[in-house]
Amino acid sequence: MERVEDIRTELGSRDWEAMTAHEAIVWGHERFGGQMVFASSFSLEDVALIDMACAAGIKPRVFYLDTGVLFPETYELIGRIAERYGIAPERVLPQLTLDEQAQVHGEKLWLREPDRCCGIRKVQPLRRYLAGQDAWVTGIHRDQSPTRAGAPRVTYDEGFSLVKLNPIVDWTTEDVHSYIAERGVPYNPMHDQGYPSIGCMPCTRAVRPGEDPRSGRWAGFQKTECGLHGR
């Protein structure tokens, strides 16, 4: 990665809001090549981005944070996506196994200190992984939550010191669903069972009618983000 000042100048010279999701992905690929990686929890948004990249003739480098407590449906979907698109998602692991974490921090840390648990099993592994990359792509969009309402399409991520692309940042949830349906993209069946956002098993529940889409994450805590995209 060249000087941060040069990157900021380049990013500031473009009208990212006028760019489509497809154009943002193509630009990122042309600009960063294999040093651009796609972060994936295999949500609807993430599988849509994988499909979009492949449709553009790009073989995306996809990685996922395997906390050890993902839903069986998530692991099954990873295999389906890998086979469908001919890719090999990179599995990023925490330094501590679940047993080691329990020995150091006590059993079921997520029930007592979810921020610390997310830090160990998600944020720290992500930081180590991204240290070797130039850009990362995420599936966040502004209508997901108030904390994401001001997200830009492309920015310099100060927290992880690289460029961050949010190609579908201006899409609505309905836009995402329409894309998945029109393209026949494989997705997690839990989305049809009241789970708009799917994370780790202990910290994810179905959302009741009328609730915020992210209320099923870390229920009972004043927490809606794991720390990867802010709080």
Catalytic residues: 226
* β-bridge partners, 210: none
Cα 178 vs. chain centroid, distance in angstroms? 19
Q: How would you classify residue 190: left for phi > 0, otherwise alpha for psi between -120 and 50, otherwise beta?
A: alpha
DSSP state of 91: E
Residue 148 forms beta bridges with which residues?
A: none
Q: How far is CA 230 from CA 3, 103, 146, 173, in A?
A: 24, 28, 11, 20
Please work out, in degrees rounded to the nearest 5, the angle formed at the alpha carbon of residue 114 by the alpha carbons of 120 and 93: 25
Name beta bridge partners: 48.
none
Say how far apart CA 6 and CA 90 lie, in whole Å.
Answer: 30
